[in-house]
Amino acid sequence: MKQFDHLMLFFLLHTCCSTLLTLAQAPAAAPVVAPKAAPVLAPASSPAPPGPTNVTKILEKAGQFSTFIRLMKATQVANQLLGQLNNTNNGITIFAPTDSAFSSLKSGTLNSLSDEQKVELIQFHIIPTYLSSAQFQTISNPLRTQASDSGDGKFPLNVTSTGDTVNITSGLTNTSVSGTVYTDGQLAVYQIDRVLQPLQIFDPRPPAPAPAPAKSKKKKDDDVADSPADDSTDNSKAVRFTIGNNVGLFGVTAIVIALISL
């Protein structure tokens, strides 16, 4: 009986050890991971509207236009262009002289100009309409600038195109477009290497001479009275009077002689 109990105990121990050994050798089960929630995406923001077109910033980015920028700011023309470009649909074309172009002017030229003349000088470089490079071939001259409509001949500006060359003349300055600085369909900025000098500022026309004064009526009457014809008439009358007196005197003398002879 004891032998049977020992066998049963051995069998149970063997079974338990086999089970434990099997569990130990089996790979551990992967932990159960909860699925991640999909990230919540923020709605896409609309692109920011473009900023206002600023001519001075465009020229500053391009470089070599410091003098032109300074004059535009000093004359308030820069603010006028900012309003025109961002509040209306009117295009603008600018012929921008380089710093070298201003350096080639006679010394003291800019300082000799009045404030009004400086405004007119800058406005003379601005066309109040957009002009592409292709439009220079069919443009009508003289061009209207912001300085004047050119109708009075004081601010004439003529642009001609020959092939790829665009020539500009003001009557005193002849130059050409040496490059395109900026263009967007509303604003066009072209580089020029000479300052456009308008006739009204650098070669004004002299005033018309005053008309000669008309002669007075009294002067004409005096001239008629002193004319040679009047003198000849008076002289003929005097001659006839003298001859008549002589004839009378001769007759009296002849009578006296005849009486004495008796």
Nearest to 188 by CA among 177, 174, 175, 176: 177
Does the residue 129 lie in any domain?
A: yes
Q: For residues 189 and 183, is the Cβ–Cβ distance under 8 A?
A: yes
Q: What is the pLDDT of residue 252?
A: 46
pLDDT of residue 118: 96
> What percent of the chain lies above the pLDDT cut of 90?
45
* Residue 4 is assigned to a structural domain of this protein: no
Q: Is the pTM value of this prediction over 0.95?
A: no
**257: pLDDT strictly greater than 80:** no
Give the domain extent around 73: 55-202
Please check whether residue 35 lies inside any domain of the structure.
no
Q: Residue 72 falls within a domain, yes or no?
A: yes
Segment 205-249, tens digit of pLDDT: 655 555 666 665 555 555 544 555 444 445 544 445 444 555 444
Residue 242 falls within a domain, yes or no? Answer: no
Interval 123-152 mean pLDDT = 87
Task: Say if 218 falls within a structural domain.
Answer: no
Domain presence at residue 249: no
Q: Residue 121 and residue 217: Cα distance in Å, rounded?
A: 51
The answer to whether residue 122 is domain-embedded is yes
Residue 86: CATH number of its domain: 2.30.180.10
* Mean pLDDT confidence for 134-154: 81
Query: What is the per-residue pLDDT across 73-115, written as a single tens digit (0 to 9) for each?
Result: 999 999 999 988 888 787 999 999 999 999 999 999 999 999 9
Tally of domains within the chain: 1
